[in-house]
Structure 1
Amino acid sequence: MTTDSVRTVTDPSQGCPDPLASTLARAAFTLIARVYVPERHQIAAAVLDADGGVHLGLHLDAMVGRAAVCAEPAAVAAARIMTAAPLVAIAAVRFPKPSEDPVARLVPPCGLCRELLIDHGAPNVAAVVDVGGLGQLVPLDELLPHKYRGTKWGPR
């Protein structure tokens, strides 16, 4: 369990009306609630592949900021170890610090993670994000409308 197991933390999947969004948010929340360490592991992600597999990733903080790894790339790497199936959706959940209200929250992927997910995801890969207090699946193209599209891998 967490280092702060005396309090109950609200699971953000409860605010996801879409069953897929709820499943991914719950998977990410369950992982981060189990392994949370303040200032070290604060966010977990769950990515869904087109074959129905759910792959988990954990945020790895570091003393040198550039060495830190977001949860989303860790989940993408875990997926790629298991399957070549396109990635279709992701959710990331941040666990609250002991000094914060006991509410875990959905976090949208940062710009670098959005780029990575679009590079490795299905054409309409989506993220579960908070939209008006509800966890909604939003295509990453709507979050990152002007994606850099290089020629290294050919047209996508």
Structure 2
Amino acid sequence: MPDPADGCPDPAARALVAAAFAAISSRYVLGRHQIGAAVLDGDGHIHLGLHLDAMVGRAAVCAEAGALSAARLATGAELVSVAAVRYPKPTEAPVARVVPPCGLCRELLLDHAPNLHAVVRNGTHAVLTPLAGLLPHKYVGTKWPAGLTPKP
């Protein structure tokens, strides 16, 4: 199966996509795990997450949330970027692809890393783009003071 990291001209994006692809390639299970994610922190470490499907869809956990949790368990460093890779089902063409974070993950990731960049497809290449640009009207509540994220 072709490595989706091959379409990443940026070295940071390529490393994240390769890590996410390796994670899901080794753990794919039909109906259980279809997406792997990788988060890069400011110290240069990559933290991985795995999509966890559930019988009750609302109980499922996205790979990006898992990677965010792993990063926060490991470090208090700023989170720099995130990438997610979807592994194809057996009935699909054998091509893994970079996928953007879903809306819920965009909200969650921006709550914890307001300057985060995400790897997204731009034509034939995967590129880093500010996550805030993918969610221009982010919900802002009163749980935390404006402009602050919770300390790990």
TM-score (norm 1): 0.92
Aligned to 1:136: 127
Please tell me the root mean square deviation across aligned C-alpha atoms, in Å.
0.8
Tell me the number of residue pairs that the alignment of Structure 1 and Structure 2 aligns.
Answer: 147
What corresponds to 1:17 in structure 2?
9
Residue-by-residue CA offset, 1:38-90 (whole Å, 9 max, x unaligned): 11100000001111110000000011101100000000000011011111100
Inter-partner Cα distance in structure 1 for 2:62 and 2:125: 23
Q: Which ranges of 4 or more aligned residues in structure 1 deviate by more than 6 Å?
A: none
The answer to whether the Cα contact below 8 Å between 1:129 and 1:137 also exists between their aligned partners in 2 is yes
Contact 1:72 1:92 (C-alpha < 8 Å) held by counterparts: yes
Matched, 1:30 2:22: yes
**Contact 1:55 1:79 (C-alpha < 8 Å) held by counterparts:** yes
Where do 1:90-129 residues align within 5 Å? 90-121=82-113, 123-129=114-120
Question: What amino acid is the match of 2:139?
Answer: Y
- Cα distance in structure 2, aligned partners of 1:35 and 1:89: 22
Q: Is the 8 A contact 1:50 1:88 kept in 2?
A: yes
Q: Residue 77 of structure 1 aligns with which residue?
A: 69
Q: Cα deviations across residues 91-146 of structure 1 (Å, max 9, x unaligned)?
A: 0000011111111000100001001110111x321110101121000101110011
SS in 2 for 1:124: coil
CA contact (8 A) 1:58 1:70 kept: yes
Q: Aligned AA for 2:128?
A: L
User: Gaps (5+ residues) in structure 1?
Assistant: 1-8
SS of the residue corresponding to residue 82 of structure 2 reads strand
What's the % identity of the aligned pairs?
A: 65
| Letter paired with 1:110 | C
Deviation at 1:151, TM superposition (A): 2.3
Q: Is contact 1:86-1:120 (8 Å) kept?
A: no
> Mind listing any 5+ residue stretches in structure 2 that lack a counterpart?
148-152
Deviation at 1:10, TM superposition (A): 1.5
Question: Secondary structure at 2:115's aligned position in 1?
Answer: strand
